[in-house]
């Protein structure tokens, strides 16, 4: 028999997997992936051609991208703490909140799949961080601006992860989910900064298949929402512990 305390800890694992996948899919979204090279070059104070040809330029870009990721992670961590604190205040209605969050995530998934379009999610709002290219502090500010302002691409997926954080009703667990999401979004930025010449072909292929990537995003969200409504997250946690006993050490 499995200890219920271990199930409580391991119950976070499916949400963590979803958060990581959601971060990666956010990076691959239509208004993030196409602008990554010029965005990184601007942050590092170099041109795209310099980033492609000069190792020293890529070092500068990589350092800037680290501070950029720290900036967006700051915002996501604060959001995770805020939403999980809100969930804690509404703990008496946690079951209803879980169903409501699942329904919301399914609606956002349907938007991505293309079943229908939600108008305000297709509007883009970017926060101008000013002329801050070429400095670590400027890259950090751009990370803050990115997290606050890139609503059409980050909004639906980020909303799903925030719903998961609220359903956890624990500040530490909510912050953990948003930290994992930030890693999923931020690590690809670091990889592109470090290996830009080698990844150009991969990025071009992804741009050509953007519609398919959006549908995969929608299918992931829809599935997560359905699992939340039907209680399958808990069942998935049991399966994880029974299949991979070492995961009982987590938490």
Positive/negative CA dihedral, 173, 139, 120, 112: negative
**pLDDT per residue as tens digits for the range 224-235:** 778 778 877 667
User: pLDDT tens across 125-139, in order?
Assistant: 444 445 445 578 888
User: 247 pLDDT band (50/70/90 cuts)?
Assistant: low
Q: Which residue has the tokens 């999401």?
A: 181
pLDDT of residue 117: 65
- Other residues' Cβ atoms within 10 Å of the Cβ of residue 167: 25
What is the average pLDDT across 196-217? 80
The DSSP secondary-structure symbol of 125 reads: B
pLDDT band at 4 (very low <50, low <70, confident <90, very high): very low
Look-up of token digits 């751009």: 142
What secondary structure, in 3-state letters, does 13-72 show?
HHHHHHHHHHHHHHHCCCCCHHHHHHHHHHHHCCCHHHHHHCHHHHHHHHHHHHHHHHHH
Q: How confident is the model at residue 92 (pLDDT cuts 50, 70, 90)?
A: low
Structure tokens at 30: 């239509």
Domains of the chain: which residue ranges?
Answer: 11-249
DSSP 144-213: HHHHHHBHHHHHHHHHHHHHHHHHHT-HHHHHHHHHHHHHHHHHHHHHHHHHHHHHHHHHHHHHHTHHHH
Cα separation, 244 vs 193, whole angstroms: 35
The least confident of 53-62, 146-155, 217-226 is 146-155
Phi-psi region of 91 (alpha: psi -120 to 50; beta: other; left: phi over 0): alpha
What's the confidence (pLDDT) of residue 2?
42
What count of other Cβ atoms lies within 10 Å of the Cβ of residue 55?
Answer: 7
Is the Cα torsion angle 171, 174, 176, 179 positive or negative in sign?
Answer: negative
> Distance of alpha carbon 22 from its chain centroid, rounded?
5
Tell me how far apart the alpha carbons of residues 77 and 182 are, in angstroms, rounded to a whole number: 8
Q: How many CB atoms lie within 10 A of CB 9?
A: 17
DSSP three-state, residue 126 = coil
- pLDDT recorded at residue 129: 47
Distance CA 3, CA 80 (A): 28
Mean pLDDT of 35-53: 81
Mean pLDDT of 191-207: 83
Cα 64 from Cα 41, distance rounded (Å):
9
Is pTM, for the whole model, over 0.85?
Answer: no
pLDDT at residue 8 greater than cutoff 50: no
């Amino acid at each position: 028999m499995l200890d219920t305390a271990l199930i409580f800890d391991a119950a976070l694992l499916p949400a963590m997997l979803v958060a990581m996948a959601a971060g990666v899919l956010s990076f691959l979204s239509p208004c993030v992936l196409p602008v990554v090279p010029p965005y990184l070059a601007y942050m590092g104070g170099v041109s795209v051609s310099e980033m492609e040809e000069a190792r020293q330029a890529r070092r500068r870009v990589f350092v800037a991208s680290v501070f950029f990721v720290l900036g967006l992670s700051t915002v996501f961590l604060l959001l995770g703490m805020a939403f999980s604190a809100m969930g804690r205040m509404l703990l008496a209605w946690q079951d209803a909140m879980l169903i409501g969050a699942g329904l919301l995530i399914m609606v956002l998934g349907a938007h991505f799949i293309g079943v229908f379009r939600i108008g305000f999610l297709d509007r883009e709002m970017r926060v101008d961080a000013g002329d801050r290219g070429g400095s670590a502090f400027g890259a950090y500010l751009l990370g803050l601006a990115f997290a606050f302002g890139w609503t059409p691409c980050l909004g639906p997926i980020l909303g799903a992860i925030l719903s998961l954080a609220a359903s956890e009703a624990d500040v530490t667990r909510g912050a953990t989910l948003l930290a994992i999401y930030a890693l999923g979004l931020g690590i690809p930025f670091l990889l592109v900064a470090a290996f830009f010449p080698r990844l150009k072909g991969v990025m071009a292929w992804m741009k050509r298949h953007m519609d398919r990537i959006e549908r995969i995003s929608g299918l992931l969200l829809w599935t997560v929402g359905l699992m939340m409504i039907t209680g399958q997250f808990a069942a998935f946690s049991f399966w994880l512990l029974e299949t991979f006993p070492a995961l009982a050490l987590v938490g």
